[in-house]
């Protein structure tokens, strides 16, 4: 199986479809990721097939939540090298995507990837989550917020829920400690107005790795005091 077929099979294994055009776009992403990674820290995963599965397919597993619909307005909070938001956009170009990161160099990388692939409808937001979450242009404007490997859940909820409209969703990816993090985040969930709707177990193709996709629904507006000023959510999580 060549690399293109490997990626296509991996995408199909999680219940999605893939064609050669989609694979070509991910090939461009992978190439740029490895090129830029030589001059800045974007990923510790550098084997091509591992990038396909542990970054691209892993990110696409958020679609299994069922809440990411065509034309949805989505924000990826702390996107880093673009995961999971950019693979979602590559898969469904109708999504209106905002990629938020606090490091300008990563935003430059993401702009370059989108330019080379030819993606439109992507906003690049260089900001701390706490600052953008208090900006009326972004506060409670999104259908879905997504995030991967950014912070413990009780902190992550304060970063992400201010962006989501009432009735919208937060989709995050977590590892084996998901249940423990959910217990620790009980107060945050109540305080920030979200409820756990679903916990999906995703097995990554061609590996023995499983992870969780947690789906939260926003049931009430975020109190105006959240998010607190930059740095406080991580130093003093809601508990």
Asked if residue 85 belongs to a known ligand binding site, the reply is no
Asked if residue 128 belongs to a known ligand binding site, the reply is no
Each as own residue / partner, the long-range contacts of residues 67-72 (CB below 8 Å, 24 or more positions apart, any chain) are 67/144, 67/169, 67/171, 67/215, 68/92, 68/95, 68/144, 68/146, 68/171, 69/143, 70/94, 70/95, 71/95, 71/96, 72/96, 72/143, 72/144
Asked if residue 148 belongs to a known ligand binding site, the reply is yes
Q: What value, to the nearest 5°, has the Cα angle with vertex 31 and ends 28 and 33?
A: 105
Asked if residue 145 belongs to a known ligand binding site, the reply is no
Asked if residue 83 belongs to a known ligand binding site, the reply is yes
Cα–Cα distances in angstroms (integers) from residue 123 to residues 48, 73, 97, 147, 186, in the given order: 27, 11, 6, 16, 32
Binding site listing: 78, 83, 129-130, 148
Binding site listing for S-adenosyl-L-methionine: 78, 83, 129-130, 148
């Amino acid at each position: 199986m060549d690399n293109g077929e490997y990626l296509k099979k991996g995408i199909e294994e999680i219940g999605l479809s893939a064609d050669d055009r989609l694979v070509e776009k991910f090939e461009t992403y992978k190439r740029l990721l490895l090129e830029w990674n030589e001059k800045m820290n974007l990923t510790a995963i550098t084997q091509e097939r591992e990038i396909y599965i542990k970054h691209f397919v892993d990110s696409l597993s958020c679609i299994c939540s069922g809440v990411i619909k065509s034309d949805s307005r989505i924000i990826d909070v702390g996107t880093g090298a673009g995961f999971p938001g950019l693979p979602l956009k590559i898969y469904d170009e109708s999504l209106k995507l905002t990629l938020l990161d606090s490091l300008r160099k990563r935003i430059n990388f993401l702009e370059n990837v989108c330019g080379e692939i030819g993606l439109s409808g992507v906003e690049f937001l260089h900001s701390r989550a706490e600052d953008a979450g208090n900006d009326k242009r972004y506060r409670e404007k999104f259908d879905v917020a997504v995030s991967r490997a950014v912070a413990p859940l009780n902190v992550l909820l304060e970063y992400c829920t201010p962006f989501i409209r009432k009735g919208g969703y937060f989709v995050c990816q977590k590892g084996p400690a998901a249940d423990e993090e959910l217990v620790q985040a009980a107060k945050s969930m109540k305080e920030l107005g979200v409820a756990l709707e679903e916990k999906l177990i995703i097995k990554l193709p061609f590996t023995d790795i499983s992870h969780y996709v947690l789906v939260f629904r926003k049931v009430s507006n975020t109190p105006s005091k959240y998010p607190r000023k930059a740095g406080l959510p991580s130093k003093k999580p809601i508990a």
